[in-house]
């Protein structure tokens, strides 16, 4: 299994479009946040002007002619400087009113920002989940589950934090910067230019570090994905780890990756610490210049005390965004990487029906017409497979490991797309490419080689394909799969909780549960992909007999290494390295020289010649054929010994 392909080092195109797609449903909240943020910024910039006017024009005796028309109008409305000098409580009340407006704006900002942020996260999760659910099976096989989960959790949170905590606040910062500079220029142009002198250096410095941050965050995110994938694999495969005594090896492997991942963050932390400290030094130099020159202007150029106090306040509003620029740059870099990683998933093409796809009848003959197929980057798995499976018959498929048995079924169910040049597969004469995917898969029941059960009750697992299934149909499916007696032995019956991936059940119980789950749908086509290998021969015969009685009209495909499983099939297909080696009835193949007869002899007799190769009767059978034939028989033989030891 391959790791998810790394995003390009350069930002991917369409970031803004992707963000706008995720913002559906939360844009209104963020627009209100922007308004509240701007109102808060306005309140903060008005406060120094109140202090300035109070110090210079009310407590002091400075002329009001130098004030802006708006301020002069406000003073006149409240009785003028002389009246306000006697009633200073009015100015105190003005300060309180502005502070209340600021507090209300900040409160509304926090409330709507929280709602907008959570709505954004919900929309991102829903969109990603819907998209991932429609991605091809092949895409899931190429990407680690742990890394996908990390992109859908950590990267979503990073994106949300940037949009709600940084991008929205940017509006307030820009608003305050513009107003602060306007007021600063109106009070003292020279001092304003001195205050702005270090800003280009700080901005260039921040942009320079932005690229370094981006690379560092990308390395950290990629290695977090590897760490998540490692944890996910170890937790789901804990029984294998314990069975082979690999705890120390896996612990050391995890520790090595965790140390490397931690080292990346420490390295990035040092870089950010250097950047922030340097930015603070530059900001401190800027404040020092403003204070020194401001004092000199007060002493020698007639700058008033009120103007100096207001100017220092506005300079703080100017410096604060610059000091926050480091945090914004780092968050922007981190969010950019997160959006690119999410974008990789969203860029993956979903499974789609052809424009003229329709719901074709599914009870016709199945035809493989010169089918040739190979997985991406791998040799051919199937070569010129040409056969017909008449409707209502049972086809057995036999072949060594890697001969293409399961691949044929994946192609029939369109879990993997068959290229145009790879031949055709038809059902009732209709090319499966022309059949709607949902209709096709709803009418093909498949029990995979490795049965998967969800961490739910047995009842929920069996009825997962048919939520409205009644009790009688549920019990009938369990009875057909020879599972009813096993369920009856559990104290909680159908409400017995099944652990993750069905770990509390034996191999045979899991396979029978998967068979029962498939039977609840009563599909016209049923595929059993080596799904009877973990049950004993007697149970195998019972299940096949029950299937024959109950679903005599269904087309059944049995993939198995067990000859007794295939003996009742109407026809048996023998595959050898992806090509049709034999095709006929079990009786015909049992007398023909070939793999079918050899495996039948393997499973009938046991012995060994002096060279070490198995002997069956008078014939020597190559070791590789023997191993392939006995693979399913020996794979889970221990599981059936503990079918009654189910953990509840």
Question: How many other C-beta atoms can be found within 10 angstroms of the C-beta atom of residue 254?
Answer: 14
Find the length of the chain. Answer: 648
| Per-residue pLDDT, 624 | 45
Residue 322 has pLDDT above 50, yes or no: yes
Give mean pLDDT, residues 243-265.
82
CA dist 648 and 337 (Å) reads 44
Residue 104 has pLDDT above 70, yes or no: yes
| Per-residue pLDDT, 641 | 38
Candidates 136, 290, 151, 159; CA nearest to 229 is: 151
Is residue 268 within 8 A of residue 337, CB to CB? The reply is no
CA dist 174 and 318 (Å) reads 10
- 229 versus 9: the higher-pLDDT residue is 229
Q: Which of 232-241, 399-408, 537-546, 626-635 has the lowest mean pLDDT?
A: 626-635
- 333 versus 344: the higher-pLDDT residue is 344
Is residue 445 within 8 A of residue 525, CB to CB? The reply is yes
Looking at mean pLDDT, say which of 9-18, 59-68, 357-366 comes out highest: 357-366
Which pLDDT band holds residue 324 (cuts at 50, 70, 90)? low
Instruction: Please report, for residues 179, 285, 314, 615, the alpha-carbon distance to residue 291 in angstroms, rounded to integers and kept in the order given.
Output: 20, 10, 12, 99
> To which residue do tokens 């130099």 refer?
285
Is residue 373 within 8 A of residue 417, CB to CB? The reply is no
Residue 4 has pLDDT above 60, yes or no: no
Give mean pLDDT, residues 390-401.
88
Which pLDDT band holds residue 330 (cuts at 50, 70, 90)? low
Residue 643 has pLDDT above 60, yes or no: no
pTM for this entry: 0.66
Which pLDDT band holds residue 325 (cuts at 50, 70, 90)? low
In this structure, which topology does domain 15-347 adopt according to CATH? Answer: ABC transporter transmembrane region fold (1.20.1560)
Which pLDDT band holds residue 302 (cuts at 50, 70, 90)? confident
- Token pair for 515: 């068979």
Which pLDDT band holds residue 573 (cuts at 50, 70, 90)? very high
| Per-residue pLDDT, 633 | 43
Is residue 22 within 8 A of residue 162, CB to CB? The reply is no
Which pLDDT band holds residue 501 (cuts at 50, 70, 90)? low
571-576 vs 525-529, strand pairing mode: unpaired
Which pLDDT band holds residue 487 (cuts at 50, 70, 90)? confident
Which pLDDT band holds residue 638 (cuts at 50, 70, 90)? very low
Show Cβ contacts of residue 158 under 8 Å, excluding neighbours closer than 6 positions: 334, 335, 337, 338
- 181 versus 539: the higher-pLDDT residue is 181
Which pLDDT band holds residue 430 (cuts at 50, 70, 90)? very high
Domain locations along the chain: 15-347, 366-642
Q: Which of 226-235, 257-266, 338-347 has the lowest mean pLDDT?
A: 226-235
- 610 versus 98: the higher-pLDDT residue is 98
| Per-residue pLDDT, 617 | 38
Candidates 513, 533, 508, 532; CA nearest to 642 is: 508
Show Cβ contacts of residue 253 under 8 Å, excluding neighbours closer than 6 positions: 230
| Per-residue pLDDT, 630 | 47
Percent of the chain past pLDDT 90, that is, above it, reads 8
CA dist 579 and 593 (Å) reads 17
Determine the longest span between alpha carbons in the chain, in angstroms: 125
Show Cβ contacts of residue 236 under 8 Å, excluding neighbours closer than 6 positions: 500, 501
Give mean pLDDT, residues 503-508.
70
At 369, is the secondary structure helix, strand, or coil?
strand
Is residue 138 within 8 A of residue 416, CB to CB? The reply is yes
Instruction: Please report, for residues 120, 121, 211, 329, 337, the alpha-carbon distance to residue 11 in angstroms, rounded to integers and kept in the order given.
Output: 22, 22, 11, 15, 8
- Token pair for 607: 């012995």
- 565 versus 501: the higher-pLDDT residue is 565
Residue 621 has pLDDT above 60, yes or no: no
| Per-residue pLDDT, 7 | 41
Is residue 105 within 8 A of residue 35, CB to CB? The reply is no
Percent of the chain past pLDDT 70, that is, above it, reads 85
Is residue 444 within 8 A of residue 363, CB to CB? The reply is no
Is residue 562 within 8 A of residue 633, CB to CB? The reply is yes
Q: What is the pLDDT of residues 563-572, one digit of tens each?
A: 888 888 889 9
Which pLDDT band holds residue 55 (cuts at 50, 70, 90)? confident
Show Cβ contacts of residue 107 under 8 Å, excluding neighbours closer than 6 positions: none
At 187, is the secondary structure helix, strand, or coil?
helix
- 615 versus 65: the higher-pLDDT residue is 65
Residue 352 has pLDDT above 80, yes or no: yes
Is residue 584 within 8 A of residue 571, CB to CB? The reply is yes
Question: Helices 623-635 and 595-602, interaxial angle, to 10°?
Answer: 60
Q: Which helix (H) or strand (E) holds 367?
A: strand 366-374
Residue 100 has pLDDT above 80, yes or no: yes
Is residue 476 within 8 A of residue 546, CB to CB? The reply is no
CA dist 59 and 54 (Å) reads 6
Which pLDDT band holds residue 205 (cuts at 50, 70, 90)? confident
Looking at mean pLDDT, say which of 324-328, 416-420, 455-459, 616-620 comes out highest: 416-420
Give mean pLDDT, residues 406-431.
90
- 108 versus 303: the higher-pLDDT residue is 108
Q: What's domain 366-642's architecture? A: 3-Layer(aba) Sandwich (3.40)
User: What DSSP designation does 573 have?
Assistant: E
Show Cβ contacts of residue 134 under 8 Å, excluding neighbours closer than 6 positions: 350, 351
pLDDT, the chain, mean? 78
- 431 versus 503: the higher-pLDDT residue is 431
| Beta strands, E only, 520-616 | 525-529, 555-559, 571-576, 579-584, 615-616
Q: What is the pLDDT of residues 119-140, one digit of tens each?
A: 988 898 888 988 988 888 888 8
Candidates 83, 82, 56; CA nearest to 67 is: 56
Give mean pLDDT, residues 233-254.
75
CA dist 487 and 505 (Å) reads 11
CA dist 623 and 602 (Å) reads 11
CB-count burial class (<10 Å; 0-12, 13-18, 19+) for 265: middle
Which pLDDT band holds residue 12 (cuts at 50, 70, 90)? low
């Amino acid at each position: 299994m391959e790791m998810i392909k790394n995003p390009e080092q350069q930002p991917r195109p369409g970031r803004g479009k992707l963000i706008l797609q995720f913002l559906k449903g939360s844009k209104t909240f963020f627009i209100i946040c922007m308004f509240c943020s701007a109102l808060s910024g306005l309140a903060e910039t008005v406060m120094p002007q109140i202090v300035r006017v109070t110090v210079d024009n009310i407590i002091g005796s400075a002329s009001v002619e130098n004030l802006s028309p708006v301020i002069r109008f406000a003073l006149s409305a409240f009785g003028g400087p002389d009246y306000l000098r006697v009633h200073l409580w009015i100015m105190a009340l003005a300060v309180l009113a502005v502070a209340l407006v600021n507090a209300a704006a900040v409160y509304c900002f926090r409330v709507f920002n929280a709602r907008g942020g959570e709505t954004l996260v919900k929309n991102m999760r829903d969109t990603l989940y819907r998209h991932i659910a429609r991605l091809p099976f092949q895409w899931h096989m190429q990407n680690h589950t742990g890394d996908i989960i990390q992109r859908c959790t950590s990267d979503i949170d990073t994106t949300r934090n940037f949009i709600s905590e940084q991008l929205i606040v940017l509006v307030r910062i820009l608003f305050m910067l513009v107003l602060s500079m306007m007021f600063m220029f109106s009070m003292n142009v020279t001092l304003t230019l001195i205050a702005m002198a270090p800003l280009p250096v700080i901005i260039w410095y921040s942009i320079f570090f932005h690229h370094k941050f981006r690379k560092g965050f990308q390395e950290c995110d990629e290695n977090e994905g590897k760490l998540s994938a490692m944890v996910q694999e170890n937790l789901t495969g804990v029984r294998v780890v314990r069975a082979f005594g690999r705890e120390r090896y896996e612990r050391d492997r995890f520790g090595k990756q965790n140390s490397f991942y931690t080292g990346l963050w420490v390295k990035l932390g040092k870089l950010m610490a250097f950047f922030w400290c340097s930015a603070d030094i530059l900001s401190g130099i800027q404040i020092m210049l403003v204070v020194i020159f401001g004092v000199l202007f007060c002493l020698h150029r007639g700058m008033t005390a009120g103007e100096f106090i207001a100017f220092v306040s506005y300079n703080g509003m100017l410096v604060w965004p610059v000091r926050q620029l480091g945090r914004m740059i780092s968050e922007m870099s981190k969010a950019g990487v997160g959006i690119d990683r999410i974008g990789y998933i969203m860029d993956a093409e979903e499974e789609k029906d052809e424009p003229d796809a329709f719901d074709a009848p599914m009870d016709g003959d199945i035809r493989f017409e010169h089918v040739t197929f190979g997985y991406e980057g791998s040799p051919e798995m199937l070569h010129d497979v040409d056969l017909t499976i008449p409707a209502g018959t049972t086809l057995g498929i036999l072949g060594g490991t890697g001969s293409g048995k399961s691949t044929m079924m994946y192609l029939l169910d369109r879990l993997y797309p068959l290229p145009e040049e790879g031949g055709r597969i038809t059902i009732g004469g209709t090319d499966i490419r022309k059949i709607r995917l949902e209709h096709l898969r709803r009418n093909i029941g498949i029990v995979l080689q490795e049965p998967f059960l969800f961490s739910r009750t047995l009842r929920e697992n069996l009825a997962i394909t048919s939520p409205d299934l009644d009790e009688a149909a549920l019990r009938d499916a369990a009875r057909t799969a020879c599972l009813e007696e096993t369920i009856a032995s559990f104290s909680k019956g159908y409400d017995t909780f099944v652990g993750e991936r069905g770990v509390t059940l034996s191999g045979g119980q899991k396979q029978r549960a998967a068979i029962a789950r498939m039977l609840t749908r009563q599909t016209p086509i049923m595929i059993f992909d080596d799904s009877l290998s973990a049950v004993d021969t007697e149970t195998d015969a019972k299940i096949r007999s029950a299937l024959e009685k109950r679903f005599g009209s269904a087309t059944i495909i049995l993939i198995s290494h067990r000859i007794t499983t295939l003996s009742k099939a109407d026809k048996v297909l023998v595959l050898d390295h992806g090509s049709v080696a034999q095709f006929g009835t079990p009786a015909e193949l049992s007398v023909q020289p070939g793999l079918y007869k050899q495996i039948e002899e393997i499973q009938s007799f046991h012995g060994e010649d002096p060279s070490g190769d198995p002997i069956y009767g008078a014939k020597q059978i190559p070791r590789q054929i023997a191993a392939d034939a006995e693979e399913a028989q020996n794979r889970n033989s221990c599981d059936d010994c503990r079918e009654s030891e189910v953990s509840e």
